[in-house]
Structure 1
């Protein structure tokens, strides 16, 4: 059952945030899996990689945490460079941040939304879209930076300069 935006009266749905995300994923043809009332997972194909998208709902705090995992694992010997890269990358972000799970060396992008406790409507479709698109956009934008550091033997600064080159003119 997908969401028909035209049928939403005030842009909000009166269901739990994960229900809204599940409907959004379904509307985009993305298969998802629910892990109880607290988590939903889907996979989205980007231009660089397939991203696992994971949302975790903390009802007691009314916080929806959103994670995007670009399937990049950092070998032990490159972790210091990647942490330096995070510092340079994260200072360019307005929303969310990149980090690494220490146990697995997996890079992820994480951000969260604090939902208004006085609003029983929950998460709006527009908020869901912003959470998902912000995570995807940042993963797509910085994926090459991490690849240059890990496999191109570039320094973090060189990787950012190479990956985030602004093109001028028209092709």
Structure 2
């Protein structure tokens, strides 16, 4: 894929630019909000996802936020906080959180890029795919708690089934 996107053998770029190339290659709607921020949307299995990447040059950190279109009403926030805690125990990269002011659930991940401040295509792919994969994996958990009347533990148990073998 790198050769298709970068015919002159460039394999890294400024973080926001590389994400723009990645989004373009996938045909996803995206917009450069500023030199340091890009927003894209893509359709997952469960929901439409907004992906927002923010580059903090002073820290050399690229932060990716994925919004799985889950908004929590006030009376459901306590069980969702519990679900978030249980879900985060399952994650290797990134974490879920809920914004207290709006009840919006999101997945957040950051990458420290170092002094060259560039992102490779493989890094961009890993960053974006991890965010979407985790949103897809845990979306039913949030829905079971919000709409299915399940406890956080029941929702996790019902949603996270490890399959073995091949079909």
RMSD over aligned CA atoms reads 1.8
Q: Structure 1 residue 166: deviation in Å? A: 2.5
The total of aligned residue pairs comes to 166
2:40 to 42, 50, 69: 42
Say if 1:153 and 1:81 are closer, same or farther in 2 by CA, change over 3 A: same
1:67 to 61, 65, 68: 65
1:161 to 149, 157, 164: 157
1:78 to 73, 76, 79: 76
TM-score in terms of structure 1 length: 0.91
Q: Structure 1 residue 168: deviation in Å? A: 4.6
Instruction: Report the secondary structure of 1:152's partner residue.
Output: coil
1:118-154 residue CA offsets vs partner (Å, 9 max, x unmatched): x25x100000000000000000000000000100010
Q: Does 1:101 align with 2:99?
A: yes
1:21 to 16, 19, 28: 19
Instruction: Flag as ranges the 4+ runs of structure 1 deviating above 4 A.
Output: 168-171
Gaps of 5+ in 1: none
Q: Structure 1 residue 104: deviation in Å? A: 1.0
Q: Does 1:142 align with 2:141?
A: no
Q: Structure 1 residue 170: deviation in Å? A: 5.1
Q: Which has the higher strand share?
A: 2
Quote the Cα distance in structure 1 between the aligned partners of 2:83 and 2:8. Answer: 42
